[in-house]
Amino acid sequence: MKNNERASYLFNRFYEKTITGNEKKELFLLLNKFSDEDLSELMAHAFNKLDKNALVPDDAKANEEINKILKSKSSGGGVIYLWTKIAVAASITLFLSFGIYLYLNKGGKTAPQIAKNKIPTDVRPGTNKAILTLSNGSTIVLDTAKNGVLANQGDITVHKTKDNQLIYSAKPNNSGRSDAETNKISTPRGGQYQVVLPDGSRAWLNASSSISFPVAFDPNKREVDISGEVYFEVAKMHIPFIVKYDKGLVQVLGTHFNVMAYHNEATTEVTLLEGSVKVLSGHANNILKPGQQAQLADAGDIKIADNVDVNAVTAWKRGVFLFKNTEIEAVMRQISRWYDVDVKYEGKVPHVQITGKISRNVNASEILSMLSYTGIHFKIEEKNIIITQ
């Protein structure tokens, strides 16, 4: 226990760049004594304690330091191939926030090399962009539209702010009625956007997502339709707020939750952060508590997962990719949506799991360079990412 606490303390100092030379030696000697299981658990615990807004620190310097450690050998049981011990089972783990490559070498004893992988072409990350479709069918490209009032629909004003939010608000001294006109906001691949709905509820749209809603809600219910992934902070009212998607619906009064309903994902996931929601699918329904996630399959069944890492679920909203034992295919689907690229596999899909954290504001090459430390090879050809082993 004492060793665990000391190692965790030193590990955090290593990450924060406050560790001394003697402490660094102590850290790696301590970690080298851990079993695979204990070491993996310690690293995961340290990863979870990191500042959630911190991104990759001085990557080149960290890689240089780790290469020195990996190359150091001792016949007397010192620091030998420390980092090959960390991954367990058949997974490969990346702690991107540390700039550390953790590699599983099932049978060999060669320490992996941490090197900058060069990718010749690049793709820029997504930005705030979306299309607003008004009830008359006309469209407004939000990323190029000027700030200010974009449209007046009945008693409702649609206003774009300088920080790329779309706000629906009733004109002064008016009822907010708008004859049930419906608007739709759609983000393409490589886009995201925020909207303040007519009732004051807030919605964040991830890439390749949409939300449709009446310009003025019905007096008895607030109902929206979505696709893709949308995070909601629902204004508290006595009128139910209903989110409809292709596999079911969510009903709430006032709460914070995330709905991931992409068509190319195996399940639709409703994750509750605050308050209470009822999830309905076919004849099944469940009420979620904070920290729970409803997973809906095509058959209409609802599976409930407890103690979900809500920080990982909503990382996209904070501008971060956060993976925890995530299969490479799922990782690449997120990259495909955010960078507006197609992903192709040459040969079999690699059986690789990724754990790590990196900003969504970096170019695709930076993420692919980190992922290539797993032994997977990437190349970018125009708007395609091609993966080989």
DSSP state letters, 276-317: -EEEEETTEEEEE-TT-EEEE-TTS-EEEE-S--HHHHTGGG
Structure confidence at residue 91 (pLDDT): 31
**Which pLDDT belongs to residue 242?**
96
Position 154 pLDDT exceeds 70: yes
pLDDT of residue 301: 83
What 8-state DSSP symbol labels residue 341? -
Q: What is the pTM of this model?
A: 0.72
Question: Which residue has better confidence, 389 or 326?
Answer: 326
Q: Model confidence at 43, in pLDDT bands (50, 70, 90)?
A: low
Average pLDDT over all residues of the chain: 79
- Compute the C-alpha angle 52/365/319, nearest 5°: 25
Give the pLDDT band of residue 56 (cuts 50, 70, 90).
very low
What is residue 103's predicted lDDT score, i.e. its pLDDT?
31
Gyration radius (Cα) of the chain, Å: 24
**DSSP labels for 309-324?**
-HHHHTGGGGTEEEEE
Residue 371: per-residue pLDDT: 83
Is 108 or 35 the better-scoring residue by pLDDT? 35
Q: What is the pLDDT, as a whole number, of residue 149?
A: 95
Mean pLDDT for the stretch of residues 331-351: 93
**Could you tell me the pLDDT band of residue 38, with boundaries at 50, 70 and 90?**
low
pLDDT tens column, 259-298 = 999 999 999 999 999 999 999 988 888 999 999 999 998 7
The dihedral over CA atoms of 40, 42, 48, 53, expressed in degrees to the nearest 10, equals: -100
Q: What pLDDT is recorded for position 315?
A: 95
Q: How confident is the model at residue 300 (pLDDT cuts 50, 70, 90)?
A: confident
Across 35-64, b (16+ Cβ under 10 Å) vs e yields eeeebbebbbebbeeeeeeebbeebeebbe
Token pair recorded at residue 284: 């099944």
Name the nearest CA neighbour of 167 among 180, 154, 185.
185
Q: How far apart are CA 67 and CA 86, in angstroms?
A: 16
Cα gap 312→309, rounded to integer Å: 6
Give 170-201 as a DSSP string.
Answer: EPTTS----TT-EEEEE--TTEEEEEE-TTS-
Percent of the chain at pLDDT exceeding 90: 48
pLDDT single digits (tens) 124-144: 999 999 999 999 999 999 999
Q: How confident is the model at residue 42 (pLDDT cuts 50, 70, 90)?
A: low
Report the range of poorest mean pLDDT among 6-20, 103-117, 230-244, 332-346.
Answer: 103-117
| pLDDT level of residue 18 (50, 70, 90 thresholds) | confident
- CA 52 to the chain's CA centroid: 12
Give the length of the chain. 389
Q: What domains can be seen in the chain, in order of their start residue?
A: 1-116+319-389 (3.55.50.30), 127-311 (2.60.120.1440)
Read off the pLDDT of residues 59-110 as tens digits, 9 standing for 90 and up: 444 444 444 444 443 333 333 333 333 333 223 334 433 333 333 322 333 3
CA angle 164, 55, 79 (to 5 degrees): 170
